[in-house]
Every structure is written in C-alpha cells, then in structure tokens.
Chain A
Amino acid sequence: MSEFLRALTLNAGYNAALVAVGAALLGAAGGAAGTFVGLRRRALATDAAAHATLPGVAAAFMLMAWLGGDGRWLPGLLAGSALSAALGMWLADRMAARTRLPEDAAIGAILSTFYGLGVVLLTVIQGMNAGKAAGLSGFLLGQTAGMLRAEALTIAAAGALAGLIAFALRRPMTLVCFDPGHAAAMGVPVRAVDLAIMGLAVGVTVIGLKIVGLVLVVALLIVPPAAARFWTDRVEAMTALAALMGAAAGWIGAALSASAQDMPAGALIVLTAFGLFALSMLAAPRRGALAALAARRAVRRRMLLRQGLAALARGAAPGDAAQLRALRRAGMIGPDGAPTARGLAAAAEVARDMRRRSFLRGGYALDAGLTEFLTRDDGLTPLERMLAPDQLAALDAAMASGGEAP
C-alpha cells in the first residue's frame, strides 16, 4: 500500500514517475480524442488501427536492423507502427466504401489480416537473430518494467503533444462532431478535422503501444468517453470529463503497476478505466442505473398511491397490500386503516382529476394545446399541474354545461 502511495505521488523512482506522467497524459489525450471518435461512431475502427500497428513495428525493426542500427530504437518503431496503422485504416475505409461489405466486416478483416502479418513477421525476426527481438513482444501487451529512460521520455513527450493537439483542436472537432453541415457552412474544413480526429486516435494508439500494448490500447479511446457520457449531455463537458478520467486511469494504473512485481501496467490502466466506467454506470445522476431504478420506483409509488386514493374515493377498501402500504406511508390512512382528513381530501382530488380526465378523453373538443397534452400525459400527474389555468377553467365549464362526456 505504501509502495502504491509512493508511486502515486511520483516518489517511486524517476522512470516510474515518467511512466505515470506519460500514461496520464496519454490517457487524457485518449479520452479527449476518443470522445470525438465515438461521436463519429468509429470506436471499433481504432481497434483495427491498433492491431494494424504490429506489421509496422516488425517491418521497422527489420529495416533498422538491416541498415545496421539498433532495431529497437523507439521513435523508429513508432513511426513504422503509425504508418501501418494509417494504411490499415485507409484500406478498411476503402473496402467499406467501394464494396458491399459492411464497415464492421471491413474493420475485422483488416484487423485480423494485419495482425496475422505482424505475427508472421515477428516469427521471421525470431528466426533472424534470436536475442535481439526480445523487446518486440512487449508491444502486444505493453511493458513498462525495464523501460529505458529515453523511451519513457519519448512517451511522456509524445503524450503531452497529443494532449496539446486535442486541446487546441477541441472547438473545430466539437463543431464537426455535432453538426458537420453547420461546421462546413462556418468555414471549418470538415475533412481535415475528421482526418485530425482519426490522426489523433492513431497517435494515441501508437504512443500507447509500449505502455498498454496493442491488444488493449483501444480501451483508452473507448472506455473514458463511455464513462463520461453518463454524467453529461454536453460535448465540451464530456470531452473534459473523458480526458480527466483517462488521465486518472493512466496515473493510477501506472502507479499500481509500479507498486509491486508482476503488475502489468496496460491491464491495470484498462481495469482502472473500467472501474471508473462501472462506477459511472451505477451511480451517475439521471443516466446511471441506480438513478433509473429510483425513478422507476418513484413512478410505481405514485401509481400505487393514486390507485389507493381512487379506491378511497369510491368508498371501497384499497385492494392490495402494496396500495395500503403506500397510503399509510403517505399519511393518507391511519394505523387502523381509516382514512385521515388529508387522505379524504386527496381522494376527492383524485376523483375530480379522474372525472376531468375521462371527460377529456371522452370526446371533449380538443384544441391544439390539449392535443399536445394528451401525447405527454402519464396518467399520474394531476391535471392542475399539467394544464394552464385557462385551459382548466374551459374544461370545467364544458363539464358543467355538458355533464358527463358521451
């Protein structure tokens, strides 16, 4: 635990601190970029990009080794992976546009084919020179243990750059996601911004390879925005929140990983992000599961109360136990089951409301306002709270003159 706190406060060594900062920046960039990617409904396309990095990594390694350099030079590997990820996404895009295959099939085909090619190239490298290829399999699931200082610096710097770009482009990206037509009319270059969004996603993917690994890096783009969606309906707020959650997941996950042996950073970052998601899904006000449950129970309580009051108004004893319980809890009946004064008044109110409703539905000449009212009537809210006073007065007058509706 204390080890975790030390890592969390960046006191567990220079490299661990760099990794934590890099992961946080990366998480922030991923959350922000992922929001836009998700709004453009391209979430899974980035999974294809992530898997398509593998042949690029392997090819870059082979090229650098063949040129006589160190095959594991990180910037070279990242450049190679970015190229092949972009190629994979472009091919998937072409396939979906030019043939009758649906987009998800194109994405899956590219994902698996490129990944297969990457695995083939990895085995070629293993055959070439056994020892040197050791670092490459770390790209599958990420590997922060034993990371070189230069690598950690590269990742932290690239993460900061991606975060900056996402921050700088947030307005045009929001516009394009929200209303591409309007954005174009305002002079925003929609295609360029779209490219920037996907470019940012590829950037996050590539930078994330070394920490999170290519199988899981897509989570940085999908999970924080999905979690942020529960808390807000506004794009700006959602972007900021997703960036914040991504950063938290990166920071906490990296710290957890640094706190003990055999704690893979990538898996922990993803699980932390999922924890935030689960928390949001459960507890967010209005959109969360608990809020939805509470709202459903409130409706049920109101319904039981109304049914019970209607029974009281008819002079009958409420039928079932649930209704009695609701009445008792609301103070409408006493412990002995006899209606209280408040209960009688409320029952009369409900009876009047029911008479009005049945008259309203029974053929009273509806004006436009009342027609609109019928579409949003839940049958529970008293008419007095739903209709304007003049509408209500007109209704009562019609009832008085015409008696019961036909």
Chain B
Amino acid sequence: MIDPLIAEISSPEFVQLSLPPMVIGALAAMSCALPGNFLLLRRQSMLADAVSHVALPGIVAAFLLTGSMAGGTMMLGAGAAALVAAGMIEAVRRVGRLEPGAAMGVVFTAMFALGVLMLERTGASGVHLDVEHALYGNLESLIWFDATGWSSAADPRALAGLPAPLWRLAAALAAMAALTRLFWKELTISTFDPGHAQVIGVPVRALSLGLTGATAAAAVAAFDAVGSILVIAMFICPPAAARLCANTLSRQVWLSMLFAALSALVGYVLAGYGPLWLGARGSVSAAGMIAVVSGLILALACVAGPARRRAGGALGAEGR
C-alpha cells in the first residue's frame, strides 16, 4: 500500500500533472476561506454566491472589449463587475427597501443572465470562453510542463514555467493573510459588536466595505482556476465547519485553513484517482469533488463538532 503510493508521488508525472492543481486548489481554497470566516459571522455568506455569479458578465465584457483572454484582463473585468454588483445591490436595497437576500437575488440573476446572453450572442463561446469553464474552472489543465521531478522545485528555470494562477493565488493568499493580521482587532470587534466598535472609533463602514472588496478579490483571483462552484464552497464550508469545532475566532480561522487545504488535497486525489481505485477509467471533476469533500467535512462537524450547539448548550466550552 505504502510503496506504490511513494512511487506515485515521486514520479515525474505526479509533479507535472497532479502537484500544480493540488497546490493551486489548496491556495484558492485558503484564500477564499479566510475572508469567509468573517462573512459567516456577519451573516453575509451569500455575498460570495453573488460575487461569483457576477464574475461571468465581467469576464465576457472584458473579453469583448479587449479581445484578450489574458488572466489580468479577465480579473479586471470580474473585479469591475463585482463592484457594479455591490453598488446595484446597495441601490436596490435602499431604494426598493428589499430584504438583503432578495436584493442580492435580483441583481446577481440579472447580471448572470446578461453574461450568458452576451456569450451566446457574440460567439465568444467559440473561443474557449464558455459557461462551463466559468462554473467548473479548469483545475485539471493547470500543469507544469517544465517539471522533470521533485528536483525541479529547486530549479529557477523550471519554476518560471509554473502555471500563472499559482503565483496569483499565492499572492492572493499572502494578501488576505496580511490584511487579516493587520486588521485583526478591528475586524473582530466590528464583527461581534458593531455598536461598541462604532463607539470606540473603529471605522465600521470602511471595514465592511473592505471585507466586501477582499471577498471580491479572493473570488476573482480563484475564479478562473477553480470555477464558481468551488469558490462558493470554499467561502462557506470550511469556515462553517471550523465554527462548529472552535469557540475562539483565532482557532476557528486556523481550523478553517486546515479544512480548506484538506478539502483541496483529498478532493483532488479522490477525483483523479478515485475512479481508478473503483476500477473505472478516467477521472471526475476535481472542482466538484473538492466541493463535495468540504461539504462532507462540514457534515461531520455538524454531527460531531465540539462547538456545534449555540452558546449555552455548548459541548466542552473550549473546543478540544
């Protein structure tokens, strides 16, 4: 059992084909899960849902305007669409006095529909820009041509050939981590007690806007590589599972990082190798499988998480 495993992991094919998607998946998962922790506590989890839906029209519009499929252009488009959506949601909520859920639903369905229509009408779907890519991402196709084995990890020339999303997501994760560290105290206070935060002079509104911006940035950075399903799953499932296992915020955040990375690794392995183990050929969607694994972790936390009940009925107040 162990020997073939080691043989597989040390083979050049593994480093070329499986390692980059696993690392990219884990980075994407952690970048999204980090702001997801605060969204969860602020009851804004569905913001991630809205943001990842509106990325499609942004990407299509960026492509139609520039004719370029470069990662940077697409990200700018998706980011701009996220801003437009945030503004529209706020406007609809204020002017229409709708509940936030309905306001979000009105805006993101309309924008997604616009994206689909633009895609179909302009024939952009012919050039490797399609809805399925937007939904599922292209994790499996992110491979490292220049790798000849693990030794390539120390070879600058080979490292330069790593898929671009890897660097982008590494930067995104670093930025998310730095922001969280920098504003930890303010974020915590304004999340748990916005009234008190306001009184002691924490800029609550600016923080809330910043969190929305960080959410959009993380979603946009991850979107192209892993698709919108996985983005939504990673914003919500790992933080939710961690919330059921921890009673302090710092422990929740660390646990969510662990769950996110675990989902990505286990999910990718199950998607890539699971069918082989069952005697079938081929593989299944990695993004889908990672989402499923994160859901299973959450399900486990729901039935056995040490902090799964509301305060008062807590089991083992300080977690494990």
Q: Interface on A for B, CB 8 Å cutoff?
A: 38, 41, 43-44, 47, 95, 98-102, 104-120, 122-124, 127, 137, 140-141, 215-216, 218-219, 222-223, 225-226, 229-230, 262-264, 266-268, 270-271, 274, 277, 281, 287, 289, 292
| Candidates A108, A109, A226; contact of B96 at CB < 8 Å | A226
A263–B118 Cα gap in the complex (Å)?
Answer: 10
Q: Which residues of A contact B308 (CB under 8 A)?
A: 98-100
A30–B144 Cα gap in the complex (Å)?
Answer: 48
Q: Using an 8 Å CB-CB cutoff, how does the interface string of B283-320 with A read, 1 for contact, 0 for none? A: 11101111110111010001001011111000000000
Closest to A227 in B: B106
Given contacts A215-B112, A219-B110, contact A104 B105 (CB under 8 A): no
Indicate whether B253 reaches chain A with its CB closer than 8 angstroms: no
Contact check, B309 vs A99: say whether CB atoms are below 8 A apart. yes
| Candidates B121, B283, B288; contact of A117 at CB < 8 Å | B288
| Candidates B101, B131, B291, B294; contact of A41 at CB < 8 Å | B101
Contact check, B45 vs A105: say whether CB atoms are below 8 A apart. yes
Contact check, B109 vs A262: say whether CB atoms are below 8 A apart. no
Contact check, A109 vs B295: say whether CB atoms are below 8 A apart. yes
**Interface pairs (10), CB distance under 8 Å:** A107-B45, A109-B240, A112-B230, A112-B295, A140-B132, A215-B135, A219-B110, A226-B105, A230-B96, A267-B120
Contact check, A108 vs B236: say whether CB atoms are below 8 A apart. yes
Q: Using an 8 Å CB-CB cutoff, how does the interface string of B251-280 with A read, 1 for contact, 0 for none? A: 000000000000000000001000100001
Contact check, A109 vs B237: say whether CB atoms are below 8 A apart. yes
A122–B289 Cα gap in the complex (Å)?
Answer: 11
Contact check, B309 vs A100: say whether CB atoms are below 8 A apart. yes
Q: Which residues of B contact A127 (CB under 8 A)?
A: 275, 280-282, 284
Chain B min CB distance to A283 (Å): 12
Q: Which residues of A contact B114 (CB under 8 A)?
A: 267, 271
Q: Which residues of A contact B120 (CB under 8 A)?
A: 262-264, 267
A267–B283 Cα gap in the complex (Å)?
Answer: 31
Given contacts A116-B289, A119-B288, contact A111 B49 (CB under 8 A): yes
Q: Which residues of B contact A114 (CB under 8 A)?
A: 295
Closest to A268 in B: B117
Known interface pairs A43-B101, A101-B244, A122-B288; 14 further A-B residue pairs with C-beta atoms within 8 A, sorted by A's residue number: A41-B99, A99-B305, A100-B244, A101-B240, A107-B46, A113-B233, A113-B237, A116-B289, A116-B292, A123-B284, A127-B282, A223-B106, A267-B116, A267-B120
Chain B min CB distance to A56 (Å): 15
Q: Which residues of B contact A281 (CB under 8 A)?
A: 92, 95-96
Q: Which residues of A contact B101 (CB under 8 A)?
A: 41, 43-44, 104
Indicate whether B181 reaches chain A with its CB closer than 8 angstroms: no
Contact check, B235 vs A108: say whether CB atoms are below 8 A apart. yes
Q: Which residues of A contact B307 (CB under 8 A)?
A: 100
Q: Using an 8 Å CB-CB cutoff, how does the interface string of B29-66 with A read, 1 for contact, 0 for none? A: 00000000000100111101100010000000000000
Closest to B109 in A: A219
Contact check, B99 vs A43: say whether CB atoms are below 8 A apart. yes
For chain B, the count of residues having a C-beta within 8 Å of the partner chain is 70
Q: Interface on B for A, CB 8 Å cutoff?
A: 40, 43-46, 48-49, 53, 92, 95-99, 101-106, 109-110, 112-114, 116-117, 120-121, 123, 131-132, 135-136, 229-230, 232-233, 235-237, 239-240, 243-244, 271, 275, 280-285, 287-292, 294-296, 298, 302, 305, 307-311
Contact check, B105 vs A223: say whether CB atoms are below 8 A apart. yes
A264–B313 Cα gap in the complex (Å)?
Answer: 51
Q: Which residues of B contact A113 (CB under 8 A)?
A: 233, 237, 291-292, 294-296, 298
Contact check, B43 vs A104: say whether CB atoms are below 8 A apart. yes
Contact check, A229 vs B96: say whether CB atoms are below 8 A apart. yes
Contact check, A120 vs B105: say whether CB atoms are below 8 A apart. no
Contact check, A277 vs B132: say whether CB atoms are below 8 A apart. no
Q: Which residues of B contact A270 (CB under 8 A)?
A: 109-110, 112-113
Contact check, B244 vs A223: say whether CB atoms are below 8 A apart. no
Contact check, B95 vs A289: say whether CB atoms are below 8 A apart. yes
A340–B310 Cα gap in the complex (Å)?
Answer: 71
A98–B239 Cα gap in the complex (Å)?
Answer: 17
Q: Which residues of B contact A215 (CB under 8 A)?
A: 53, 112, 135
Q: Which residues of A contact B294 (CB under 8 A)?
A: 112-113
Given contacts A262-B121, A281-B95, A281-B96, contact A112 B229 (CB under 8 A): yes
Contact check, B275 vs A115: say whether CB atoms are below 8 A apart. no
A113–B236 Cα gap in the complex (Å)?
Answer: 10
Contact check, B288 vs A266: say whether CB atoms are below 8 A apart. no
Contact check, B288 vs A123: say whether CB atoms are below 8 A apart. yes
Q: Which residues of B contact A107 (CB under 8 A)?
A: 45-46
A266–B136 Cα gap in the complex (Å)?
Answer: 20
A277–B287 Cα gap in the complex (Å)?
Answer: 35
Q: Which residues of A contact B271 (CB under 8 A)?
A: 120
Contact check, A120 vs B289: say whether CB atoms are below 8 A apart. yes
A218–B108 Cα gap in the complex (Å)?
Answer: 10
A111–B132 Cα gap in the complex (Å)?
Answer: 17
